[in-house]
Chains A and B, each alone.
Chain A
Amino acid sequence: MTTRIVELRRGILKKNDELAAGLRGRFVDAGVLVLNLVSSPGTGKTAFLEYTLRELRARGAKVAALVGDLETDNDARRLAASGAPVRQINTHGICHLDAEMINKHLEGWEGVELAGLDYLFIENVGNLVCPSSYDLGEKIRVALLSVTEGEDKPLKYPTLFNSADAAVITKMDIAEPCGFNRELALKNINEIRPGIRIFETSAKTGAGIDDWLAYLAQAHTARHGLQDPL
């Protein structure tokens, strides 16, 4: 017997990374801006996305959404009320979405052509740990945090917040009764991801949504050099 050391230097999630790179290329070619929304369960991703889809559609943008949950198509039904095409991804126990699930659910999606879209939103499974490791080919990863969760969430889950391109604070309408310390939350987010764009929003009152929509429009234009869809 002889012992031999074989060097590999191989990414463990290489398969996912390769698929995600392929998706990213397709999204760029199609001129669609793709966002991956990540938060804990109960932050209000779906309510925030419902509002966003409705407003974007009212402004004439072409939008669609993929929504991940372990079980049920409740969120897809809620989001579809906006009039946008929505497809549910049930992971059946898997705690995150991966590039293969996105690939699979883009196939045979009736009435949806990537090239016909301005924005595609991917609502990830509610989880602040695992989704950070799985690239879905998105351009913008959005980390959401609600005022009921505690201002130190970014410090507790630095991996996810550090990998985000934008942060959204939800449920600002109940910030006061929750004793939400806004300055501390902003400071903590900035400590983990210095300089990140932060939106303070409410899907009940519409607070902060205009800024968010302006950011989306700008990201879309900057990315594709296309005309502002809004």
Chain B
Amino acid sequence: MHELSVVASIVESVTELAAAYPGARVLEVRLRVGALASVIEDSLQFCWGITTEGTPLQGSKLTVQTLPVVMHCTACAQDVELQGVQSFRCPRCGEPCSDLRQGRELEIDSIEIDEVEEAI
């Protein structure tokens, strides 16, 4: 629901960074989004074109890597990956888990840019 403000923050961050590479074009922006981040990829993609227009990100591609929820199961003494977000129980032993290790990420992983080479 707040994907537009999320996209606006991404554009701001990447524009700031791109300023260090004058003349460069941003080709791709890669995100890491946890399954519990409340952000839907379709909505991000929908906002991408409009928000990037007229910025150094115009025409770039947005790639989203979705991260599953990982909990620490005390009974099994190890980190376990959940299959969904409907039950926070260890998929191995069935015990409830409350120690979240992954799933809330909402970050820019990396960007790919096309640099202008200096004229020789």
B108 at the interface (CB under 8 A from A): yes
CB distance from A97 to the nearest CB of B (A): 11
Interface contact A194-B100, CB-CB below 8 Å: no
Q: How far is the CA of A157 from the CA of B110 in the complex (A)?
A: 30
Give the contact-size bracket for chain B: 35 or more
* A5-B13 in contact (CB<8A): no
B74 CB, min distance to chain A CBs, angstroms? 11
Report the Cα distance A7→B32, complex, angstroms: 12
A14 to B9, CA, bound (A): 9
Q: Which residues of A contact B36 (CB under 8 A)?
A: 132, 158-159, 162-163
- Ordered nearest first, which 10 A-B pairs have the shortest CB separation? A194-B96, A130-B2, A158-B85, A8-B108, A7-B110, A159-B38, A159-B36, A129-B1, A12-B106, A11-B107
- When the two chains form their complex, are residues B108 and A9 in contact, meaning their CB atoms are under 8 A apart? yes
| B62 CB, min distance to chain A CBs, angstroms | 12
A130/B1 in contact, CB under 8 A: yes
Could you tell me if A2 and B106 are in contact, using CB atoms closer than 8 angstroms?
no
B106 and chain A: residue at smallest CB distance: A12
Contacts of B108 in A (CB 8 A): 8-10, 12
A92 within 8 A of B: no
Contact B98 A12 (CB under 8 A): no
Chain B residue, CB-CB nearest to A98: B5
Task: Known contacts A8-B108, A12-B108, A127-B1; decide if A194 and B115 are in contact (CB<8 Å).
Answer: no
Chain A contacts with B in 178-203, Cβ cutoff 8 A: 190-195
B92-120 contact mask (Cβ, 8 Å, vs A): 1 or 0? 00001110100010111111111111000
| Residues in A whose Cβ lies below 8 Å from that of B88 | 162, 191-194
Q: Do the beta carbons of A4 and B96 come within 8 Å of each other?
A: no
Looking across the interface, which residue of chain A has its beta carbon closest to that of B29? A8
A11: chain B residues at CB < 8 Å are 106-107
- Against B, the Cβ 8 Å flags (1 = close, 0 = not) of A1-35 are 11111111111111100000000000000000000
Contacting residue for B96 out of A3, A133, A190, CB 8 A: A190
A207 is an interface residue with CB less than 8 A from chain B: no
Q: Does B77 contact A (CB under 8 A)?
A: no
A21 to B103, CA, bound (A): 20
